[in-house]
Structure 1
Amino acid sequence: MEKNNVKRIHDFDQSIWLDFIDRKIMDTGELQKLIDEDGVRGVTSNPAIFEKAISSSSDYDADIKELSQQDLSNEDLFYKLAVRDIKRAADLFKPVYEEEVKGADGYISLEVSPYLARDTEGTIRQARELWEAVDRENVMIKIPGTAEGLPAIRTCISEGININVTLLFSLDRYETVANAYISGLEDRLEKNQPIDHIASVASFFLSRIDVMVDPVLKENGLNELYGEVAIASAKKAYEIYKRVFSSERFKKLEAKGARPQRLLWASTSSKNPDFSDTKYVEALIGPNTVNTIPMDTLEAFRDHGQASNTLENDLDKATRTLEQLKEAGIDLEDITQRLEEEGIEKFNQPYGKLLDAIAEQKKKALASNNS
């Protein structure tokens, strides 16, 4: 039997995680099927995914009704719901986590409140609470890679919490995040605590870069770079990854069992209809990386995706692409900073909607309980 196109990606030592979760996908057995047939090896979630899951179905109504009896804020009630889903998904992926190389994959990610993106102490506090609440070794807590998130990442890693660093657009910020991970491991080792079980990924966002850069390229007559900047940035990020995690500094930690913080490609659905729907998957397949993809992109790749080792192809072209931006006076750092701000807002909006929807359902539940 011919191997599934998505499964072929694993031949090149890249893991495919699903950027989606809801109860239906678990109740129907579809998630288990994705594990078995497509070789999906993890799940990422975010506030927008949960907002859609909770607001667009009745699957959570009974739980909301039950939890409405408790004296919970809307946010606390949401996290009670989310933690139930994350625990269940983590248990589904436990066999993947327990494979021969234990802890290589099988992780489920749950994000701290997007309202905390600029709040270091609040992020640390909530990351600890969520880690304790899910109580699963194959879970990662998502923390945004903002300037305020960096000390939170270091602290949480030092406390043995698996972290998925999200919302990365800039190469400089990515390198700072990789170093925050290493510092967290060093802090932990100084306390004579084990580091061989800690896992982390750095989620580098792709298609949103092109969405913001491409109009600027057109204005500057750089049409030949249209749709190329995100992939060029990702290839340069991988060069940084290889340099940082082959350094003498990291080798000392590796000798104690530390694992590199893998790069994870996020925002990999094509936002531009002119591009192939598998563009951001096909161009970045390579060793020791993860690609988290939404369902539509996974189905497209299953249907017509081409899997080959592409990540280190055309590195000179990637370097030249970023040089051409500089020469044209296009400040990529400024663009990536704007993308970070926009990214925070893109999570804040659905999160606000989600909390409003929970408030509305709580009200209905309380009214029906009192009638």
Structure 2
Amino acid sequence: MATNKVKQIHSFGQSIWLDFIDREIISSGKLKKLIDEEGIRGVTSNPAIFEKAITSSSDYDADITELAKTTESNEEIFFGLAVSDIQKATALFDGVYNEGVVGEDGYVSLEVSPFLALDTEKTAKQAVELWQKVDRKNVMIKIPGTKPGLEAIRQSIAKGININVTLLFGLPRYKEVTEAYISGLEDHLAAGHSISHISSVASFFLSRIDVLVDPLLDEKGLGDLKGEVAIASAKKAYEIYKKVFSGERWEKLAAKGAKPQRLLWASTSSKNPAFKDTKYVEALIGPDTVDTVPWETVIAFADHGIAANTLEQGLDKATETLERLKAAGIDIDALTQQLEDEGIEKFNKPFEKLLQAIEDQKNKK
């Protein structure tokens, strides 16, 4: 019998999560099948995924009508719908959550409102609200890794909430996120609480980096680096991860049961048709990491993906790639900040569309 290629990735220490959720995949048994047969170990969602789920089917119509009887807020109605889906999905991952190292995997992520991405206080407040509403040990609340998000991340970890830090593009910001996580753990521990149950991932977005950078490379005579900058950045992020989650400060927390905040590769579908559709998955397989993969990419990898321990291969080349960018006058830090700013807008627009769809459904006679 042929080896399952997606499951094979787990043998190299990486967990594959599905970057998709809707009611049909939960109720039809498809998600359970992906867990059992493909080794899917978690789920991530975002405003764009929920917008597609809610606007492309009638599965949510009756609940929208019912929820509208008790609130006029379309955002409250949305989170009512989303919390229900997240709770059902977390139940399916109970077995994964309790397997091996308890709490290593089996998480389902729910994001705070993208409208709050630049508001520390409101983000932290909503993270608590969503954590309490879902009320499942294997939910992760997603908070964007913006500058204002950093303090919200620290405060949330300090309250014992599992956090998926999303929208990371640059190495300086990633370093700040690891600091927010570790500081949050120290705060929770100092308040007299156990930290062994807290889990977090830092979601580093990939293909969008290359979409922005690649057109600049030809202008600078660096055409050979097309499709390589995001992967190089991810490999350097992993170097930071290994350095941060070792040493005296971390060992004190680890001795109390703390889990490292794993890097999660996001935006892993190839946006450039010239690239292999499994390119970003294949390039970054390695220990103690997560890759959240769209449905289509899961299918593609199961068919023709190559599973190998690649994450720490070519580290010198990764360093050289980023040095060549700098020498050519390409400011990768400025570009990744641009991507963060654009990323907020890219989640705002589908969220606005989603809220309008709820409004339209409420007004149906």
Q: Which stretch shifts more, 40-49 or 247-256?
A: 247-256
> Counterparts in 2 of 1:136-155, with a 5 A limit?
136-155=136-155
Q: How many residue pairs end up in the alignment?
A: 365
Q: How far apart are residue 97 of structure 1 and its match?
A: 0.3
Q: How far apart are residue 305 of structure 1 and its match?
A: 0.2
Classify the secondary structure of the residue corresponding to 2:70: coil
* Structure 1: unaligned runs, 5 residues or longer: none
> Counterparts in 2 of 1:117-156, with a 5 A limit?
117-156=117-156
Aligned to 1:312: 312
Check conservation: 2:19, 2:293, Cα contact below 8 A: yes
Aligned to 1:97: 97
Q: How far apart are residue 100 of structure 1 and its match?
A: 2.5
Check conservation: 2:17, 2:290, Cα contact below 8 A: yes
1:200-222 per-residue CA deviation (whole Å, 9 max, x = no partner) reads 00000000000000001111110
Check conservation: 2:206, 2:266, Cα contact below 8 A: yes
Q: How far apart are residue 27 of structure 1 and its match?
A: 1.4
Aligned to 1:194: 194
1:125-155 per-residue CA deviation (whole Å, 9 max, x = no partner) reads 1000000000000000000000000000000
Residues in 2 aligned to 1:176 and 1:284: alpha-carbon distance in whole angstroms: 22
Whichever residue aligns with residue 218 of structure 1, its letter is D
Q: Which stretch shifts more, 200-209 or 219-228?
A: 219-228
Residues in 2 aligned to 1:174 and 1:342: alpha-carbon distance in whole angstroms: 17
Residues in 2 aligned to 1:242 and 1:154: alpha-carbon distance in whole angstroms: 20
Q: Does 1:207 align with 2:207?
A: yes
Q: Does 1:8 align with 2:8?
A: yes
Residues in 2 aligned to 1:3 and 1:65: alpha-carbon distance in whole angstroms: 46
Residues in 1 aligned to 2:57 and 2:49: alpha-carbon distance in whole angstroms: 13
Q: Please report the RMSD computed on the Cα atoms of aligned residues, expressed in angstroms.
A: 0.6
Whichever residue aligns with residue 241 of structure 1, its letter is Y
Residues in 2 aligned to 1:71 and 1:84: alpha-carbon distance in whole angstroms: 16
Q: How far apart are residue 189 of structure 1 and its match?
A: 1.0
Q: How far apart are residue 70 of structure 1 and its match?
A: 1.1
Classify the secondary structure of the residue corresponding to 2:363: helix
Aligned to 1:29: 29
Whichever residue aligns with residue 12 of structure 1, its letter is F
TM-score by length of 1: 0.98
Aligned to 1:168: 168
Aligned to 1:303: 303
Q: How far apart are residue 199 of structure 1 and its match?
A: 0.1
Aligned to 1:240: 240
1:236-259 per-residue CA deviation (whole Å, 9 max, x = no partner) reads 000000000012111100000001
Whichever residue aligns with residue 65 of structure 2, its letter is K
Classify the secondary structure of the residue corresponding to 1:157: helix
Check conservation: 2:207, 2:268, Cα contact below 8 A: yes
Whichever residue aligns with residue 18 of structure 1, its letter is L
Aligned to 1:73: 73
Aligned to 2:44: 44
Aligned to 2:265: 265
Residues in 1 aligned to 2:320 and 2:179: alpha-carbon distance in whole angstroms: 26
Aligned to 2:335: 335
Q: Does 1:275 align with 2:282?
A: no
Q: How far apart are residue 273 of structure 1 and its match?
A: 0.2
Classify the secondary structure of the residue corresponding to 1:53: helix
1:72-103 per-residue CA deviation (whole Å, 9 max, x = no partner) reads 30000000000000000000101110113110
Q: How far apart are residue 66 of structure 1 and its match?
A: 1.1
Check conservation: 2:161, 2:198, Cα contact below 8 A: yes
Check conservation: 2:17, 2:41, Cα contact below 8 A: yes
Classify the secondary structure of the residue corresponding to 1:148: helix
Q: How far apart are residue 71 of structure 1 and its match?
A: 2.2
Classify the secondary structure of the residue corresponding to 1:12: coil
Residues in 1 aligned to 2:17 and 2:30: alpha-carbon distance in whole angstroms: 14
Whichever residue aligns with residue 135 of structure 2, its letter is D
Identity of aligned residues (%): 70
Aligned to 1:112: 112
Q: After the TM superposition, which parts of structure 1 deviate over 3 Å for at least 4 consecutive aligned residues?
A: none
TM-score by length of 2: 0.99
Residues in 2 aligned to 1:262 and 1:15: alpha-carbon distance in whole angstroms: 10
Classify the secondary structure of the residue corresponding to 2:291: strand
Classify the secondary structure of the residue corresponding to 2:264: strand
1:9-58 per-residue CA deviation (whole Å, 9 max, x = no partner) reads 00101000000000010111100000011000000000000000000000
Classify the secondary structure of the residue corresponding to 1:160: coil
Classify the secondary structure of the residue corresponding to 2:147: coil
Check conservation: 2:71, 2:77, Cα contact below 8 A: no
Classify the secondary structure of the residue corresponding to 1:103: coil
1:133-181 per-residue CA deviation (whole Å, 9 max, x = no partner) reads 0000000000000000000000000000000000000001001100110
Residues in 2 aligned to 1:72 and 1:46: alpha-carbon distance in whole angstroms: 23
Whichever residue aligns with residue 156 of structure 1, its letter is S
Whichever residue aligns with residue 74 of structure 2, its letter is N
